[in-house]
């Protein structure tokens, strides 16, 4: 029976994905995360990058070599994915694409507890949520547009999925707000 590849956190998978593209030092990884807007679709903190790199190096998924920067800066550890890391990455990518994972949010907890609130409070809160979704959509669309069609196809797909999810949430919240309005009219 083949050995099961350990589950990766989203942050570990994101870092392995970047290193599967090419070796990088930690600051290059941070720059790439920022340039690609990766924090718009995955949780990866700046402060956790080196911790995760060291953790994955300890698991044999990465190696590092000290390399002098081309500028006057200090030598930096350049991380490279190992064959074991590539296999772990490949398995994790296939698992991520194959298995739907439930996205939990505190919005759902709030929704489950609206009974404890006044209808006007709920309406105001969900209206703010809807407005923030509109801002989020505009931000994601602006980021996509800023690339002027100069990004890889798979990155475009990330943006398309994000926009579709936001659109779905916008549709749902608009419908929910309408239901709240109708309900309040019926209760009056």
Can you state the percent helix, strand and coil of the chain, rounding each to 5? 70, 5, 25
pLDDT at 2: 45
Residue 31 has pLDDT above 70, yes or no: yes
CA separation, residue 150 to residues 24, 31, 51, 86, 128 (Å): 22, 18, 32, 27, 34
Full domain range(s) for residue 138: 106-187
- In angstroms, rounded to a whole number, what is the distance separating the alpha carbons of residues 86 and 82? 6
Handedness of CA 175, 177, 182, 186 (dihedral sign): positive
Asked if residue 5 belongs to a domain, the reply is no
pLDDT at 43: 84
Asked if residue 2 belongs to a domain, the reply is no
Question: How many CA atoms within 13 Å lie on the side-chain side of 137?
Answer: 15
Residue 177 has pLDDT above 50, yes or no: yes
> Is 23 in the same domain as 66?
yes
Residue 25 has pLDDT above 80, yes or no: yes
Asked if residue 77 belongs to a domain, the reply is yes
Q: What percent of the chain has pLDDT over 90?
A: 59
Residues in the chain: 188
Residue that terminates a domain, selected from 98, 118, 141: 98
Asked if residue 61 belongs to a domain, the reply is yes
Q: Are 184 and 123 in contact (CB under 8 A)?
A: yes
Question: Comparing 11-15, 21-25, 75-79, which segment has the lowest mean pLDDT?
Answer: 75-79
> Is 41 in the same domain as 115?
no
Residue 1 has pLDDT above 60, yes or no: no
Q: What is the pLDDT of residues 152-171, one digit of tens each?
A: 898 889 899 999 999 999 99
Number of CB atoms found within 10 A of residue 162's CB: 19
> Is 53 in the same domain as 125?
no
Q: What is the pLDDT of residues 98-117, one digit of tens each?
A: 988 777 788 999 999 999 99
pLDDT at 37: 80
Q: To 10 degrees, what angle do helices 83-98 and 10-21 make?
A: 120
Asked if residue 1 belongs to a domain, the reply is no
Confidence of residue 88 (pLDDT cuts 50, 70, 90): very high
85 vs 4, residue with greater confidence: 85
Residue that terminates a domain, selected from 42, 74, 98: 98
Q: What is the pLDDT of residues 65-75, one digit of tens each?
A: 988 766 667 77
Q: Where are the alpha helices (DSSP H) in 45-152?
A: 49-58, 83-98, 106-112, 119-146
pLDDT at 105: 83
Work out how many domains the chain is built from and give that number.
Answer: 2
> Is 94 in the same domain as 125?
no
Q: Which CATH number is 30's domain given?
A: 1.10.10.10
> Is 111 in the same domain as 94?
no
Structure-block tokens of residue 85: 């890391």
| Strand-by-strand arrangement of the 24-25 sheet | 24-25, 76-81, 62-67
Q: Are 27 and 77 in contact (CB under 8 A)?
A: no
């Amino acid at each position: 029976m083949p050995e099961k590849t350990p589950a990766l956190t989203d942050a570990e998978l994101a870092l392995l994905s970047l290193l599967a593209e090419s070796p990088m030092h930690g600051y290059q990884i941070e720059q790439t995360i920022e340039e690609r807007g990766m924090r718009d679709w995955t949780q990866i903190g700046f402060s956790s990058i080196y911790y995760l790199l060291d953790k994955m190096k300890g698991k044999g998924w990465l190696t590092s070599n000290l390399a002098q920067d081309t500028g006057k800066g200090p030598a930096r550890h350049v991380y490279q994915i190992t064959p074991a890391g590539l296999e772990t990455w490949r398995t994790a990518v296939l698992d991520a694409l194959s298995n739907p994972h439930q996205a939990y949010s505190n919005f759902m907890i709030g929704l489950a507890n609206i009974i404890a609130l006044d209808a006007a409070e709920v309406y105001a809160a969900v209206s703010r949520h809807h407005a923030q979704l509109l801002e989020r959509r505009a931000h994601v669309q602006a980021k996509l547009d800023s690339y002027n069609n100069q990004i890889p196809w798979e990155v475009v797909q990330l943006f398309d999925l994000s926009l579709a999810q936001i659109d779905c949430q916008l549709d749902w919240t608009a419908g929910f707000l309408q239901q709240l309005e109708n309900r309040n009219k019926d209760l009056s």
